[in-house]
Amino acid sequence: MATLMYQSSSFRLFVGFPFSKGKGKVLEPHNNFTAELLLTGTGGPNVTTNASGLGTEIQNTTSHKDLGGRDEIRETQNGTDAKGTTENLIAAEVGLKNGSSTNDSGIPDDRDKLLHGLLASGFDEASCISRLQSYLYRKAASPHKASPYLISKLRNYEEIHTRCGPNSRAYNRNMIRIVHSKNNGNGVAAAMCKYLVWTPVNGLGNQMISIAATFLYAILTDRVLLVKFGKDKHGLFCEPFLNSTWILPDKSPFWNENHVQTYQRMLEKDRASANNSKEDHKGLPSALFLNLQHTRSDPEKLFHCDHSQDLLRKVPLLILQSDQYFVPSLFMTPSFNLEITKMFPEKDTVFHHLGRYLFHPSNEAWGLISRFYKAHLAKADERIGLQIRVFRPVSTPPQAVMNLVLNCTIMNKLLPEVVDMQNSVSFASKNQMVKAVLVASLYAEHGEILQTKYMKKATVTGEVIEVYQASHEERQKYNDNKHNMKAWTEMYLLSLSDVLVTTSLSTFGYVAQGLGNLRPWLLYKLTNNETHFPACERDLSLEPCYHTPPKHYCNGKPIKDFASSFPYMRECKDFGFGVKLVNG
């Protein structure tokens, strides 16, 4: 541990993600994190030294092995394992402040654990601790309850997935038929299970929002969702479906889609046969590759049109590749619109519900999230998440980025102004509220600049500002498990904020805002050393932006104004070409 001492302050660099400290002995750092920069705002009457994390001592701790053979720390009470009173312990540790329903014993109601019916019961809690504990870490229960119709659709999907998913007889039988039927999809589609295989592209944020969109498409078309998870996503998420898996088996021939006919080719063949009704739809393939990846140069895909969906419905297995949140195009599809509207009467909560249903941190990830939260964020009166993405780091100095961040947060009264130390006495007694700021950035300088500002000067409000940064990778890495683990834990930690500031166009921020029911402040996208006013503006809704929506109606006419035809869609504030769902 390196400690740089300032006047009445300290800056600490810890190696390893925050693990508790037993009596005089530091636990070994987690093998998925090599370095963590903890910036603790200190100095003067308004900033305190917070040496939690590796410096936190928990009395009476015992080490257990979790399912993966890793050490898991569980607090004990009077020397006895307290697993039976987990909710009570966590509620006390994290300062439970939410408006959860409680029974006579003070333990939160089971309805809160299952998010008022969104989640299915019956899971083994030990296999995925976060599923039934994560709600305790949010200050308030979500005001958005899943509709009864959405809940019924999820229970119906779960039954289909159990019956037709991997390791079932139906799966093995159907896959053999799909592989051997080749260009005779019509002959097998009606009497068999159908599948939707999601294929990853780009970073984890893009992948998560596209998985949620793909899952909704699977529900609407009665398909079983299977995901291609390589080693880079090993150990990130719990299995979302009871008594089954959503991971495409390793031996599946559909890990490689090069031998599969493309959706674009199918559309070309369909147009060529449009004048011959007898030949129409003949020879549809049993498997089809559908590319909805982010690109503005491709020809119109017409995925949102009923005619295309009629063709796709006849194909037993679809391989879908996308880095986009294409949910708005499903609302635009006439045959889906009524169904999806019944599922989501609040249009701007689609990712909020589906994200909380699908993405539960694994025990490994949850250990990192919960320990960091308890050590650094739990006791704060307010938690502010700052998600900073720099698109052109060579031409965008860190100070220019932080000037933008500070202009945004101070102008909108998210963070206070500072004054010189000699003037700090008059402000010291005003307000002893503690604000914990979590900085998520690839670069350590962003956290350091913010930490230095509040370390050396007092705040005009008397508030105590603590600044933390969990990691700084310097660059985005693809197909890297350790990098993805850090990204996932930070996205989730940001979602536990009370206030969120994100960078325009960043899917990292989209995930956090959706999971956390947070309408973020969007920072202007800097690409050089410049200033911009306003530095940020409030987003329209919780929903991610769909960056590449359809450009034409199904009759071929160009779409000039989405809001005029689709009253629940608006142009994205962070990307003029994109659209997002609003509850309008």
Summarize the confidence of residues 314-319 as an average pLDDT.
Answer: 94
pLDDT band at 226 (very low <50, low <70, confident <90, very high): very high
Q: Is the pTM of this model over 0.85?
A: no
Looking at per-residue confidence, does 31 or 183 come out higher?
Answer: 183
Mean pLDDT to the nearest integer, 18-38: 31
Tell me the average pLDDT of the chain. Answer: 80
Residues ≥6 apart with Cβ < 8 Å to 25: none
Instruction: Please report which confidence band the pLDDT of residue 529 belongs to, taking 50, 70 and 90 as the band edges.
Output: confident
Specify the DSSP class assigned to residue 120: P
Residue type, 513: Q
Q: Is the pLDDT at 38 greater than 70, yes or no? A: no
pLDDT of residue 13: 29
pLDDT cut 90: percent of the chain above it: 60
Residue 334 has pLDDT above 80, yes or no: yes
- The residue with greater pLDDT, 67 or 330, is 330
Residue 562 corresponds to which amino acid? Answer: F
Lowest mean pLDDT among 197-201, 276-280, 308-312, 537-541: 276-280
Q: State mean pLDDT over 276-297.
A: 72
Residue with tokens 């297995």: 317
Q: What is the dihedral of CA 336, 179, 248, 257, to 10 degrees?
A: -80
Per-residue pLDDT averaged across 216-235, rounded?
Answer: 96
Q: State yes or no: pLDDT of 465 exceeds 60.
A: yes
Residue 91: alpha-carbon gap to chain centroid: 24
Whole-angstrom distance, CA of residue 424 vs CA of residue 255? 63
Tell whether the model's pLDDT for residue 105 goes beyond 50: no
| 91-104 confidence digits (pLDDT tens) | 656 654 444 444 44
Which pLDDT belongs to residue 181?
80
Give the largest Cα separation in the chain, rounded: 88
Work out the average pLDDT over 197-209: 95
Instruction: Inform me whether the pLDDT recorded for 311 exceeds 70.
Output: yes
Residue among 413, 24, 353, 380 at smallest CA distance from 213: 353
Q: How far apart are alpha carbons 17 and 37 in whole angstroms?
A: 9
Residue 58 pLDDT > 50: no
Q: Distance between CA 28 and CA 30 in Å, rounded?
A: 6
pLDDT at 284: 83
Higher pLDDT, 500 or 295: 500
Q: CB 467: neighbour CB atoms within 10 A?
A: 30
Between 75 and 49, the higher pLDDT residue: 75
The pLDDT value recorded for residue 12 is 30
Mention every residue, 6+ apart, whose C-beta is less than 8 A from residue 555.
none
Strand partners, 522: 502, 537
On the question of pLDDT at 178 being above 80, the answer is yes
Whole-number pLDDT of residue 87: 62
Q: Do residues 257 and 156 touch, judged by C-beta distance below 8 A?
A: no
pLDDT at 574 over 90: yes
In whole angstroms, give the CA distance from residue 301 to residue 418: 53
Give the DSSP H/E element, type plus range, for residue 69: none
Condensed to tens digits (0 to 9), the pLDDT of residues 250-284 reads 999 998 888 888 888 888 777 767 655 544 445 78
> Higher model confidence: residue 61 or residue 255?
255
The per-residue pLDDT for range 411-426, each reduced to its tens digit, is 999 999 998 766 555 5
**3-state SS, residue 75:** strand
* Predicted pLDDT at 26: 25
- Residues 63-91 have a mean pLDDT of 42
- 44/203: higher pLDDT: 203
pLDDT above 70 as % of the chain: 74
| Higher-pLDDT residue of 25, 101 | 101
Q: Is residue 148 predicted with pLDDT exceeding 80?
A: yes
Note whether 358 and 240 are within 8 A (CB). yes
Token readout for 44 is 């003067």
Rounded average pLDDT over 49-76? 32
**CA-CA distance, 418 to 461, in Å (whole number)?**
8
